[in-house]
């Protein structure tokens, strides 16, 4: 029997919209409910224990919305909390690290793979572990760039300044003869054109959106969870959403209604302070 319950998707902010868009394009019959934890964005510089706490709160909120599958569209939360979330819920949970790592190994010719991600994701070593599980002789160069997340959230990127800041990271990666670069933060594909310039020719750049959407499709089929109805989509946020709304309109072609929700005591204070 078709299952018309929505797929839950979350991130700290606008980054997960890159995964959501691909998900909607790949699986047009599936409804979604997206939650952007704007009141507590960014997650990247926070201690892993705090990211874990936030991720569980967000996931519990979405679970109460009767979702049939959860996509953790945030590398930082996947790195900090994926096993906890996988074991906590009766529905399947898909993170973004493993699908991106497996695809990078498939695409790389020389096994030298670069990862640019948040401080939290890099500190966790999640990509290095996931890549080495797929190819034991791979060489992984991970570099943090948490500073990019607030710039992307604000929607006001100084492109020349960003390129200048990316240059030393890319120089290290070129020196290591990396042939594949993973954008290991779901915010970064929103500046894909700058990464193309910064990385230069001959380097394959990828993110996890396509492979994650493929994994979701596979799981829905395997567990007979596919929808038989027309899709509908909801957007939830925990904090001020003006620039989130602009971004969503640019990506989805329309200003979606955005609902503001409280996940935890203190959320209203966080909103007022932000
Ligand atoms: N987009 C998220 C990620 O993939 C989170 C970025 C942040 O909040 O710092 O890691």
Q: What is the pLDDT of residues 178-204, one digit of tens each?
A: 999 999 999 999 999 999 999 999 999
Ligand 1 and 76: CB distance under 6 A = yes
Ligand 1 and 227: CB distance under 6 A = no
- Among protein residues, the one whose CA lies closest to atom 2 of ligand 1: 74
Kindly state whether residues 22 and 88 are assigned to the same domain. Answer: yes
273: pLDDT confidence band, cut at 50, 70 and 90? low
Kindly state whether residues 91 and 106 are assigned to the same domain. Answer: no
Tell me which of 7, 185, 198, 206 is the catalytic residue: 185
pLDDT value at residue 146? 97
- Looking up residue 51, the CATH number of its domain turns out to be 3.40.50.1860
- The total number of structural domains in the chain stands at 2
Kindly state whether residues 17 and 71 are assigned to the same domain. Answer: yes
- Among protein residues, the one whose CA lies closest to atom 9 of ligand 1: 44
Ligand 1 and 208: CB distance under 6 A = no
Burial of 150 (0-12, 13-18, 19+ CB in 10 A): middle
255: pLDDT confidence band, cut at 50, 70 and 90? confident
Tell me which of 27, 39, 55, 74 is the catalytic residue: 74
Kindly state whether residues 217 and 230 are assigned to the same domain. Answer: yes
Is residue 41 among the annotated active site residues?
A: no
Contacts of 193 (CB under 8 A, 6+ apart): none
Ligand 1 and 146: CB distance under 6 A = yes
- Residue 48: pLDDT over 90: yes
Choose the residue to mutate in 76, 94, 98, 208 for probing ligand 1, maximizing ligand atoms within 8 Å of C-beta. Answer: 76
**pLDDT tens digits for 148-185?**
999 999 988 899 999 999 999 999 999 999 999 999 99
Which of 163, 188, 207 lies at the terminal end of a domain, its last residue? 207
230: pLDDT confidence band, cut at 50, 70 and 90? confident
Closest CA relative to residue 19, chosen from 31, 4, 9, 27: 9
Is residue 74 among the annotated active site residues?
A: yes
The residue behind tokens 């302070």 is 273
pLDDT value at residue 228? 79
Which of 183, 207, 231 lies at the terminal end of a domain, its last residue? 207
Does residue 1 lie in a domain region? no
| pLDDT above 90 as % of the chain | 92
In whole numbers, what is the pLDDT of the chain averaged over residues?
Answer: 95
Ligand 1 and 118: CB distance under 6 A = yes
User: What is the domain extent for residue 111?
Assistant: 97-207
| pLDDT above 70 as % of the chain | 96
**pLDDT tens digits for 114-127?**
999 999 999 999 99
CA angle in degrees (0–180, nearest 5) for 51-53-58: 90
């Amino acid at each position: 029997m078709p299952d018309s319950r929505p797929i839950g998707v979350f991130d700290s902010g606008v980054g997960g919209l890159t995964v959501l868009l691909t998900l909607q394009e790949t699986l047009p019959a599936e409804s979604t409910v997206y939650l952007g934890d704007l009141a507590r964005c960014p997650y990247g510089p926070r201690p892993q224990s705090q990211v874990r706490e936030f991720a569980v709160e967000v996931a519990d909120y979405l679970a109460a919305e009767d979702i049939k599958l959860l996509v953790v569209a945030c590398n930082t939360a996947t790195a900090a909390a994926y096993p906890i979330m996988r074991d906590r819920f009766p529905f399947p949970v898909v993170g973004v690290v493993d699908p991106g790592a497996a695809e990078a190994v498939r695409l790389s010719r020389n096994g030298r793979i670069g990862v640019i991600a948040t401080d939290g994701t890099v500190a966790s070593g999640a990509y290095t572990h996931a890549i080495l599980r797929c190819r034991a002789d791979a060489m992984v160069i991970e570099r943090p760039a948490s500073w990019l997340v607030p710039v992307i959230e604000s929607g006001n990127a100084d492109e020349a300044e960003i390129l200048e800041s990316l240059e030393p990271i890319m120089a290290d990666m070129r020196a290591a003869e990396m042939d594949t670069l993973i954008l290991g933060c779901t915010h970064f594909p929103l500046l894909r054109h700058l990464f193309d310039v910064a990385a230069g020719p001959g380097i394959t750049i990828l993110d996890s959106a396509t492979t994650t959407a493929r994994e979701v499709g596979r799981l829905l089929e395997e567990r007979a969870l596919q929808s038989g109805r027309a899709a509908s989509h909801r957007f939830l946020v925990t904090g001020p959403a003006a620039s989130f709304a602009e971004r969503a309109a640019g990506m989805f072609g329309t200003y979606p209604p955005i609902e503001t929700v409280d996940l935890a005591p203190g959320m209203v204070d966080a909103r007022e302070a932000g």
